Amino acid sequence: MSLGTLPPQVDGVQEAKPAPVKNLPMPGIPYFHPIQRPAPGTFLGMLDSTQPRPLLFTPITIRGVTFQNRVWVSPMCQYSSPDGQLTDWHVAQLGSYACRGASLVMVEAASVTATGRTTPEDAGLWKEEQIPSFARAVQAIHSQGQKAGAQLGHGGRKSSMLAPWLGVGVAVKEANGFLGDVVAPSPIAYDELYPVPREMTIEEIQECIQAFAQAAKRAVAAGFDVVEIHAAHGYLIHTFLSPVSNHRTDLYGGSFENRIRFAVEIVTAIRAEIPEGMPLFFRVSATDCLENGRGWDIEDTVKMTRILKGRGVDLLDVSTSGLHPDQKIAVGPAYQAPFAEIVKTQIPDIFVGSVGILHQPEVANHVLETGQADVVLIGREFSRNPSYVLTLATELGVKVKWPIQLHRAEPSYRGRRLLNL
């Protein structure tokens, strides 16, 4: 039929004209992006139909949010944010993970106060003006049909340091540092290369709790799907938890109940500011990795997790260490997974994520198949290979949805009905 001719008639009734082929836009995105449905990284089948579907490519739903696979991007600081704001670098970096199949992309840690940044170039959500830059990154992730996570934190006694490629050292005033405002539960430095913090007053503790809550509110305004509290790696919340770094004698120190009070109050405050259907995650160092039971340990983590779950935490993101230079860590494939497994075994009705050298497909899938965790969060391997989800799929014999713009690079298993190819 030539253009402009009428469709044929049958028994005097004009046949319906076929709907035109059209490159449809992704809904909810303020700029044109072709619709990605289903999202990249979605399971389509097995190359060998006799093989079982790996748990890595099985959907998981937490509260009101469904993730089409269980391979998530861990937050990775870039030390590249002027006045706490994300830039084109972040949009390009985070978007590269999303378009290649990561079902949850966690944006780097956002400080809840200006003086809680580990470096003067850390990202932050301590004021309204920062929301638009985060919203741009979220839109890039959403344009691929993926979910975006905000991690909120405070560096505590590890604040006002130089970017790591400049060496370990403090950022002085001339380097935009804020040494006089570095705070912690007690005036104990991490080591001789870090600043000696000022002990927080009760009023400052309460202000910090509200800063976490307000930052969570801004994360919601930016469009995030998930909020995570960073309570690991020797940063502020972690230093309240451990008796090694918390020598207080008031309501926020001494007993286990007092040392976890800061964390519990932050969780409660954030849960009150975010929607009921939004998942709340909590990243923890399950142990300080110190000898003779010194410091915070896995038994403490399990005990605290029971309380946090009752306050609205949905997933525990399990890491370890970072509190003290004497830590002893046996590093190897899935070396953090045993700690995640202990939490999952003791509290089976909470979701658990595992981290730590999970870049080998068989290792990552084994962690899930054996019940050590529900999801895996991966950092450095995504930095090396933004297509890590697609690589996992290929090596495990899984057919997945590819980003539509990369259709010419898709594996041969994808049947193509594309015009003019």
Catalytic residues: 235
C-alpha span between 24 and 308 (Å, rounded): 43
**Measured on CA atoms in the order 377, 382, 384, 385, is the torsion positive or negative?**
positive
Cβ proximity of 365 and 54 under 8 Å: yes
Q: Which two tokens stand for residue 114?
A: 């200006």
Comparing C-alpha atoms, which of 96, 78, 98 is closest to residue 87?
78
User: Residue 89 and residue 383: Cα distance in Å, rounded?
Assistant: 13
Tell me the one-letter amino acid at 176: N
Residues composing the chain: 421
